[in-house]
Structure 1
Amino acid sequence: MGEEPTWGEFLLNSLLAMAVPTLVGGALVVSLVGLTVWATAPLRRRRRSRATESGAAVPSPGRARRGSARGGR
């Protein structure tokens, strides 16, 4: 049998063993979120155009509405 690994080798191997599933899982989550955003973009566009045709105000993304958690003053 081979020699026991040193602490440095053990830590390096452990970090590598933990990093691979984390990177693969993270890439999978980012891909699924991106695909969801891409697939629902036409629906969001359609909703926005209907709201502007009916004369309703469409809130711009990133702006707080009145009465929101940010104060709304």
Structure 2
Amino acid sequence: MVKTAGIDPVFWGSVHPDCNDRHDHTPPVGAVLDTMISTGNMPFASVDRGAMQFLLAEPAILVLPVLFPHS
């Protein structure tokens, strides 16, 4: 299906899991954040602040493969 759409399968295989991973780690629906809050008895604000530094780096992770594609 990816090849039919004209997308490089290697590119898709590297970008798609990253997007799915971002869903698990970003508020407000981050399942990993909810697990950290409940198991660590931590306030949401504390966990959210810790996750934001990684969230700010995520756009660069997605832009780099677009700028420097594997040929």
Q: Same fold (TM over 0.5)?
A: no
Provide the TM-score with structure 2 as the length reference: 0.40
Identify which of structures 1 and 2 has the higher relative contact order when contacts are C-alpha pairs closer than 8 Å and 6+ apart: 2
Higher helix content, 1 or 2? 2
TM-score (norm 1): 0.39
Structure with higher Rg: it is: 1
